[in-house]
Amino acid sequence: MLSHILRRVLLMIPNVFAMTFLLFATVSSFLGSPAAAMLGQEASIQDIQALDKQYGFDRPIFVQYIDWVAHAIRGDLGRSYTSQQSVADALWPTIPLTIELSLWAMLIAVAMTILLNSLPFAKRLIQPFTTVLAVVGITIPNFMLGICLIYLFAVELRWLPTTGWVPWSAGIGNHLQHIILPAVTLSANYFGSFTLVYREEYKAAYSRLFIKVARAKGLSELRVSLVHALPNAILPVVTYVGLSLGPLVGGAVVTEIVFSMPGVGRLFVGAISAHDFPVMLAVGILVIFGVMVANLLSDIVYVSINRQVSLG
């Protein structure tokens, strides 16, 4: 296990450099001259060229990338073109909120998938309802589902606040009231996908010989389901969770805007609107690194659940 983790970490290093260079080059080509974005539309060509030379924007892209990496390793991610604030100072406060929202969304999606598709009484009673929820979660866009939930639970029933976010210091109950609707909105699509994958794997596991042996021993259906079928059926879902972090951030962008949450997604959308290259690059690198770490963690969890699987 330890050798596998070390090998994966060593492989992550060149992957991070390759992906960040592609991101750097792509964003630079997409935005054009950063000097033009900094000076605005009314800037003259001479002013843009002077600023390009001052900040080194006229250098080859690879040279700019090496210079950016040298600063990023020291924790300097540059300064925002629009606010002139340090990118690190703008980015770090938004990360905990997005991480918490993503974790809550994944926890809800995985927990509901297991509970509604594993417990024998739940399967018999509400399987048609679960299927409807899964299809709705997959087909309805996040922004539409978020607006519907706001209208139902905040406007009509007045059980939860409409928008906004409050920290834990404002009270656990108050914090959870603000996070539950965004978390449910973000989890809906993953609940649908996980349910469809898990249900098929669960059926396949239930038809295997070891399940018949467990039943022949007189074990209860609940024990057969949770102890014998679940560890085998959940493996594809674990892999799917690791691969879902990138799209999860994309869903968080929309969710944070709908619910007016000051997270990474909202910061990223503002950076795109303002053509703020350093902020866009920092968020992109954060997502790349997060996806790689999540894939590694999913492999570790995969083996922890089923010891018959070996890490190559």
237-277 confidence digits (pLDDT tens): 877 777 776 677 667 778 888 888 888 878 888 887 777 88
Q: In one letter, which amino acid is 90? A: A
pLDDT, tens digit (0-9, with 9 covering 90-100), for 164-220: 778 888 888 888 888 899 999 999 988 988 888 888 888 888 778 888 888 888 878
Residue 250: the pLDDT is 67
> How do the residues of the chain divide into helix, strand and coil, expressed in percent and rounded to 5?
80, 0, 20
User: What are phi and psi for residue 86, nearest 5 degrees?
Assistant: -60, 135
For the chain, list the domains and their CATH numbers: 95-266+291-305 (1.10.3720)
Question: What burial letters (b/e) apply to 39-58, b meaning 16+ CB within 10 Å?
Answer: beeebeeeebeebbeeeebe
Q: If residue 289 lies in a helix (H) or strand (E), which one and from where to where?
A: helix 277-305
Residue 184: the pLDDT is 92
Report the distance separating Cα 103 and Cα 109, nearest Å.
Answer: 10
CA-closest candidate to residue 298, choices 224, 245, 247: 245
Question: What is the maximal distance between C-alpha atoms in the chain?
Answer: 84
> Do the beta carbons of residue 214 and residue 228 sit within 8 Å?
yes
Question: What burial letters (b/e) apply to 270-291, b meaning 16+ CB within 10 Å?
Answer: bbbeebbbbbbbbbbbbbbebb
Whether the pLDDT of residue 300 is over 80: the answer is no
**Mean pLDDT value across residues 70-84:** 82
> Do the beta carbons of residue 153 and residue 249 sit within 8 Å?
no
> Do the beta carbons of residue 189 and residue 142 sit within 8 Å?
yes
How many other β-carbons are positioned within 10 Å of the β-carbon of residue 165?
Answer: 19
Residue 108: the pLDDT is 92
Residue 283: the pLDDT is 85
